[in-house]
Amino acid sequence: MKRMVAGPNSGRALDAAALDAHAWLGLMISAALYLICLSGALAVFNQEFERWEQPAVEEDTRVRPELAAQGLEHFVERYGRDTGHFHVVFPTSGIPRLVVENDDIAHFVRDDATLGAVESAPWTRMLIDLHYYLHLPKNVGMILVSVCGALLVALIVSGVLAHPRIVRDAFRFRRGGNGTQANIDLHNRLSVWGLPFHLTIAVTGAYYGLVGLLVSLAAHAFFDGDTQAVTAPVFAPEPSGYGVEGAELPDIARAVDHVLREDPEGRPIFLTIHDPGTVDEFVEIYVQQPGRLIYSENYRFSPDGELIGRGGYRDGAGGKQFVYSLYRIHFGDFAGVGTKVLYFILGMMLAVVSATGVSIWLGKRKRRTMMDALWPAFVWGTPIALATSAIATLAGGAGIAGWVFWLVLLVTTSLGARLDAGLVRQRYPLLLGGCLITLVVLYVAHNGSAALHVASWPVTASLLCFAFALLWPLSYNRLRRPQGRAGDSLARR
Amino acid sequence: MFIASILAPFAVFLCFFGLGWVYWGWKASNRVSSALGWALITSSVLAWIPAAGLQYGLVYALFAPALLVWPYVSREASRIPSRAGQQRPREASQWSVAQVIVNAGAAVVVALVLPLMAGVLTVFVSFQLPVAGASQAAIGILLLPFLTALYVFLYLASRRRMQWLLVGAAGTSVLAAVMYL
């Protein structure tokens, strides 16, 4: 990659060097960053997508301790106790459904406490895995994605330094020309005004994969390799010695009852039975706190339902609260659908920043190469691949959603190499619109009347609106063409 | 609840109005208007906090301008003439093996070596601060991406990358020796 700017003169050396660094780094991580940003913006709605994938499940927003305990008993009767954890996900978790699960399988619980359908949201899982790991092996993928977060901070810093007209251009947006100026203005306006959000997402995103590096370095430097000693001030250590080897299921109804009385404002999210049937067994209930960004306050109980203590996240040290708030700050999962919509829009803006960054670099070059068409094909091919993987999932290919995604992305991007960039920008959005219409038609055919359930229609309606917005130019052009011809003939007369 | 339902739109209005002042100040090159606008945007946090609580309110106050600025940007939108017929020549992609190796090497440095170096410095700095364990962790989490960004920026912006890398590696080795030996 050669320098984007001619040699820097003495007065603007920092701008030019910053622009060089910004361009190099942007090109290096642009594709990964675009995938992470787009999937992240969509993953804000992961709970809504999960409900949408299984719309026919019974829903209820109440937390009923007895029902949860009976549901868990039925689950253990069917699957046994040979697991490291049991979980009960409450209907106040964001998805109004009661779920019982072990480390391998999850079931919905019906109103009569019998086990309902197996929880299965393969497309949502695929989307989340794309955002977390880029579908790489989990350890490697998460570190890579987090490094992208740290590099996004570098992009933000170098971008600000490379932008000497940051104030002079604060509201400028020039369309037309060959499109490069519009891309530059869009890239800069979105980057500058969205800077607080971008920085927040980058810093919190860097945490997940890189915290392991920090813990490991600190443990070996100051605690003789004891990682628990590093994390203990933040994450309350697990209690032990409260369980009995081979004991019966713990009294979770009593524990949940206790939480509902002790913390009436809180929303129980889920419950975990750690190391069931061992001496280390204990019950932990995660309770979301209204008005707070912390993930939850955690109540810990012995197997007989006696309170052992709290995690201390609600009123612990500021640093502890900060670290435990990173998840909700990153994913916007703290104040209902309104905040999710805000995060979705801002996340899409960041995806547009990633996409336009490369387009600017391509547009400034004096020659055209295959890359000029490959990049827009990749940008538009990604949502097409996401839509196609959802279609494949509905058509019965639940286990292949990830493979379909990458295959379609490969095909659409490679096809771009054979097309003109303008044609890609014109046709691929129409293709995406077509894929979304197909997805909705298949979804309605697959789910019948359940497609009108409150769990599904908001997502279906949003998909339809987006599809029609993409297909609008098609109808507009068709309607307009005869008028244009009529106008021509009138002019000739 | 009632107060929140009044204060939230008021906070939005305050932010939008503040952005308007910034816009008019920008357009008329009037710094006083701009400063007043920024003051209004900042003061919207005082409406956001009672409307949504301290923590949510701060988040909304920080992120709202990114959404509310667009009416002003679109008001300022202009069209530049398109230069029809100015098509750039199409050429086959040219790959230089040497350049690919140099770029791949720099990518490894940027994605692996520099974050590791920044990690060592982060741990060193965090544990020198007179704060308790949880605060050390929080400072470290905040510091790491910024130090990584600084290292990456200095490396990429440098004309003598290898020299910079060697100096950085030597500094990190000294820190590591202090911490581990």
| Model pLDDT for residues A375-418, shown as the tens digit of each residue | 999 999 999 999 999 999 999 887 899 999 999 999 999 998 88
What integer pLDDT is reported at residue A4 of this predicted model? 39
Q: Note the residue count of chain B.
A: 181
**Local confidence band at A11 (pLDDT 50, 70, 90 cut-offs):** very low
Average pLDDT of chain A is 91
Optimal mutation site among B49, B59, B74, B150, interface A, most CBs of chain A within 10 A:
B59
Q: What is the distance in angstroms between the Cα of A409 and the nearest Cα belonging to chain B?
A: 21
pLDDT at A471 over 70: yes
Q: What is the distance in angstroms between the Cα of B52 and the nearest Cα belonging to chain A?
A: 7
What integer pLDDT is reported at residue A398 of this predicted model? 79
Residue type, B125: V
Optimal mutation site among A14, A27, A29, A147, interface B, most CBs of chain B within 10 A:
A147
> Is the separation of the CB atoms in A436 and A467 below 8 Å?
yes
CB contact under 8 A, A207 and B141: yes
CB of B1 within 8 Å of any CB in chain A? no
What integer pLDDT is reported at residue B85 of this predicted model? 59
Optimal mutation site among A4, A181, A187, A217, interface B, most CBs of chain B within 10 A:
A217
Domain residue ranges in chain A: 56-120+234-316, 367-477
Q: For A126-156, what is the HEC assignment? A: HHHHHHHHCCCCHHHHHHHHHHHHHHHHHHH
Q: What is the distance in angstroms between the Cα of A465 and the nearest Cα belonging to chain B?
A: 21
Angle between helices B54-68 and B31-52 (to 10 degrees): 140
Q: Which residue has the higher pLDDT, A479 or A216?
A: A216
What are the chain B neighbours of A156 within 8 Å (beta carbons)? 149
CB contact under 8 A, A367 and B89: yes
Q: What is the DSSP letter of A82?
A: -
What are the chain B neighbours of A202 within 8 Å (beta carbons)? 145
What integer pLDDT is reported at residue A377 of this predicted model? 96
> Is the separation of the CB atoms in A204 and A158 below 8 Å?
no
pLDDT at A177 over 90: no
**Pick from A158, A174, A233: CB nearest B137:** A233
Q: What angle do CA A343, A346, A352 make, to 5 degrees?
A: 140
Q: What is the distance in angstroms between the Cα of B104 and the nearest Cα belonging to chain A?
A: 9
What integer pLDDT is reported at residue B92 of this predicted model? 67
CB of B101 within 8 Å of any CB in chain A? no
What integer pLDDT is reported at residue A8 of this predicted model? 40
Q: What is the distance in angstroms between the Cα of A222 and the nearest Cα belonging to chain B?
A: 8
CB of B11 within 8 Å of any CB in chain A? no
What does the alpha-carbon distance between residue A110 and residue B154 come to, in Å, rounded to a whole number?
A: 59
Q: What is the distance in angstroms between the Cα of B124 and the nearest Cα belonging to chain A?
A: 8
What are the chain A neighbours of B149 within 8 Å (beta carbons)? 150-151, 153-154, 156-157
What integer pLDDT is reported at residue A163 of this predicted model? 87
What is the full DSSP assignment across A334-358?
TSHHHHHHHHHHHHHHHHHHHHHHH
What are the chain B neighbours of A134 within 8 Å (beta carbons)? none
pLDDT at B136 over 80: yes
What integer pLDDT is reported at residue A369 of this predicted model? 84
Q: Which residues contact A486 (CB under 8 A, 6 or more apart)?
A: none
Q: What is the distance in angstroms between the Cα of A289 and the nearest Cα belonging to chain B?
A: 12
**Local confidence band at A480 (pLDDT 50, 70, 90 cut-offs):** low
> Is the separation of the CB atoms in A277 and A243 below 8 Å?
yes
Q: What is the distance in angstroms between the Cα of A398 and the nearest Cα belonging to chain B?
A: 34
pLDDT at A461 over 90: yes
- Sheet architecture: strand order including A267-274: A115-118, A106-109, A99-101, A85-89, A267-274, A282-288, A297-301, A307-310
Nearest to A288 by CA among A335, A239, A237, A236: A335
Lowest mean pLDDT among A396-405, B33-42, B140-149: A396-405
> Is the separation of the CB atoms in A159 and A81 below 8 Å?
no
Half-sphere exposure of A134 (CA within 13 A, CB side): 20
CB of B136 within 8 Å of any CB in chain A? yes
CB of B6 within 8 Å of any CB in chain A? no
- Mean local confidence (pLDDT), B81-98: 72
**Local confidence band at A365 (pLDDT 50, 70, 90 cut-offs):** confident
CB of B96 within 8 Å of any CB in chain A? no
Work out the number of other CB atoms within 10 angstroms of the CB of residue B97: 7
Which chain A residue lies closest to B156 (C-alpha atoms)? Answer: A21
What integer pLDDT is reported at residue A417 of this predicted model? 83
Q: For A180-239, what is the HEC assignment? A: HHHHHHHHHHHHHHCHHHHHHHHHHHHHHHHHHHHHHHHHHHHCCCCHHHHHCCCCCCCC
Lowest mean pLDDT among A9-13, A344-348, B50-54, B167-171: A9-13
Optimal mutation site among A15, A25, A187, A230, interface B, most CBs of chain B within 10 A:
A25
pLDDT at A201 over 50: yes
Task: Report pLDDT digits (tens) over A243-297.
Answer: 999 889 999 999 999 999 999 999 999 999 999 999 999 999 999 999 999 999 9
Q: How far is CA A368 from CA A242, A363, B86, B161, in A?
A: 69, 9, 12, 30
**Local confidence band at B84 (pLDDT 50, 70, 90 cut-offs):** low
Pairing of strands B77-80, A173-176: parallel
What integer pLDDT is reported at residue A485 of this predicted model? 45
- Mean local confidence (pLDDT), A346-371: 92
CB contact under 8 A, B156 and A325: no
What are the chain A neighbours of B27 within 8 Å (beta carbons)? 171
Q: Where are the beta strands (DSSP E) in B30-167?
A: 77-80
**Local confidence band at A488 (pLDDT 50, 70, 90 cut-offs):** very low
Average pLDDT of chain B is 91
pLDDT at A3 over 60: no
What does the alpha-carbon distance between residue A324 and residue A343 come to, in Å, rounded to a whole number?
A: 19
What integer pLDDT is reported at residue A160 of this predicted model? 93
What integer pLDDT is reported at residue A53 of this predicted model? 96
Task: Report pLDDT digits (tens) over A307-337.
Answer: 999 999 999 999 999 999 999 999 999 999 9
> Is the separation of the CB atoms in A45 and A459 below 8 Å?
yes
CB contact under 8 A, B56 and A218: no
CB contact under 8 A, A292 and B144: no
Which chain A residue lies closest to B75 (C-alpha atoms)? Answer: A171
